[in-house]
Each structure stands twice: as structure tokens, then as C-alpha cells.
Copies of this chain bind each other. A is one copy, B any other.
């Protein structure tokens, strides 16, 4: 169908390969982290990788009690005035490993003697050469311009890191089920046809909260990159603080949710938006669909909320693909895009 679609389908295998191959690296990261006891975690990334960083903010916060900050690269590359990274664990995420601003932050972290980790799909990249510890994603070449498999591989690498730092048998068993859960999500593709019509217009809002706020951001980016719609994600809480003024009857809103602790937030906003007459559609994992929605795909991976971003984003990628095809757009040829964006 397209390179984008092909690579979406590769994800269970990539996830499985990463689990198999990353053991020694994860052990080394866990040991180093426990030895250093970092004050916190700093993550630098751009685009989809930055959404993986957003996921880690919640995951490391909840599982590892780590305060996570997302670096502002321009402080390092434009203002020549980097903040103190003393005692931090600094993680750079870049598919290509060649993003100059990600490399610049890791170089500065090395200069400041912080612990550094590179998460990249290119073990021979500049980023890998600079960082102390390297997680190679082993995802194979990503030829599609919109990222898919390197995004889920980055999420999984971060989850494996969290587990290596604070091992837990139950979470370990859940991690082992991720590849088959993603394969299960892929089988639901046809059911997405019911959601696609709501996303035929020039704009859409995508909402999530907590762990799946990152999923909302990533799905909005996929819709924007592949279908040229202006899709904007908000955390449900921020959305209710002002931007909700935007919606009107017929306005398309996509909700993503993995149940758990934010289920009541999802139900609350769904009821409010349905009440306004919005076109509310949803992607859910492990939870029922709030009432009154126009269409929803409910998957049940059996994964805990913390890991549902891995299955829900697969559904979101497939949805973005179907929406693009329905609009007659080639998702492999986004306008004005190059695969490696060299921003400083």
C-alpha cells in the first residue's frame, strides 16, 4: 500500500527484536543509574521523538519517581547558555542520530559530566558516538517520512529503561506482552473505517491525558503530516482551560484513552462534547467507549494503562493512513519534508 503502511505493520517484530537484543544495554543503564542516583532526567528530542519524551515524563515520574524535564535545545545552540545538567541522566532520542540540536545537548551533558544515553536507530551516528550509553533500536531502515516503527521502538526503549532502573516482575511480564498486543491492534484496521469520515475536514482536535497525552500529540502529528489537516492535541485538562471555546456542533474531536486513572476525565469531556453536538470519535484500549460517541474502536490488549500508548498509537497510525488514502493523499510523499531535519 505504502512504505508508511508497511512500516506500521513491522512494529510487533521490531518491538520483539528490541526486547531480545537490548538486554545487556538495559542492564548497563540500570546499573549505572542506580550507582549515580541522578537528581532527575532530562530528555532532548524533536518531532515524534519529543512525543516519546513526553511519554517518559509520565512513565519515569510514576514508576521511578524521577522529575523529568524536556530540554529547550535553543538554550544550547542559539543562546550559548545551557542550564546546569549536573547530576542528571540526560537522554537524547533521534531516529537518525544526526539531529544537530539533539547532539549538541548530549555533547554539553558530557562536558558537564552528566550520565548520557542515546536512543537511536543508527548505531554509527554522531549521537551514538557522543553518548556514554547507547540504545540501538534495531528497527531497520525507516523509509517512510512519517515515523511509525521508530516511534514505538523509542517508547518501548524508554519503558525497558524504566524497568531496568526499578525492576518489577509484573511490569516485566507486561512488557513481554507488548509485541503480541501490537499485533492484535493491527488486526483491527478494518474497524477504523467507521472513524475516518469524521476526519475528512481541514481541522481536528485530539485529546488525551496522562500517559496517553503523548499518544494524542503523536496521532495529531501523523494526521497533520499525512493528510494536511491541522490536527491539534491538548491534554484534556488544558483543553478545558480555554481552547474548548473553539468547538461547535459538527467539530471533529478524536479521543484516545487507555482507561486507568484518567478514565473519568475521558468520560467527562466526551459527555460535554457529545452534548455540544461535536463529532466525537475515539480510540480506546482496555476500557469501554463513553456513551454517545459517533464511532469508537475499543481494543483490549490487557496491558496496564502505562503501556497502552504502544497499542493506541498503532491504531492512530493506521487511522492516519486510512484518512490520507481516503483524501487521495500519498502518505509517503509529504509536501516540503525531508527525512532528516537538520535544525540547530
Of A71-79, A187-195, A314-322, the one touching chain B:
A71-79
Check B83–A241 contact: CB distance below 8 A. no
> Within the assembled complex, what's the spacing in Å between the Cα atoms of A240 and B201?
23
Contact of A293 with B by CB under 8 A: no
Known contacts being A66-B84, A84-B67, is A238 close to B47, with CB within 8 Å?
A: yes
Check B224–A335 contact: CB distance below 8 A. no
Known contacts being A72-B58, A237-B101, is A210 close to B337, with CB within 8 Å?
A: no
Give the number of residues in A that approach B within 8 Å (Cβ atoms): 73
> Within the assembled complex, what's the spacing in Å between the Cα atoms of A69 and B226?
31
Check B66–A83 contact: CB distance below 8 A. yes
A120 to chain B, nearest CB (A): 16
1/0 contact string of A332-344 vs chain B (CB within 8 Å): 0011110001011
Contact of A133 with B by CB under 8 A: no
Give the number of times this chain occurs in the complex, counting copies. Answer: 2
Check B232–A230 contact: CB distance below 8 A. yes
Contact of A243 with B by CB under 8 A: yes
Return 20 A-B CB contacts under 8 Å, by A number. Answer: A39-B40, A40-B69, A47-B238, A61-B75, A61-B81, A62-B81, A66-B83, A69-B69, A74-B261, A74-B262, A78-B265, A79-B210, A79-B261, A202-B202, A203-B203, A224-B242, A225-B243, A230-B246, A244-B337, A272-B336
Interface residues, chain A, with chain B CB atoms under 8 Å away: 39-40, 42, 46-48, 50, 57-58, 60-63, 65-70, 72-75, 78-85, 87-88, 101, 146, 202-203, 205, 209-210, 221, 224-226, 228-230, 232, 235-238, 240-248, 261-262, 265, 272, 276, 334-337, 341, 343-344
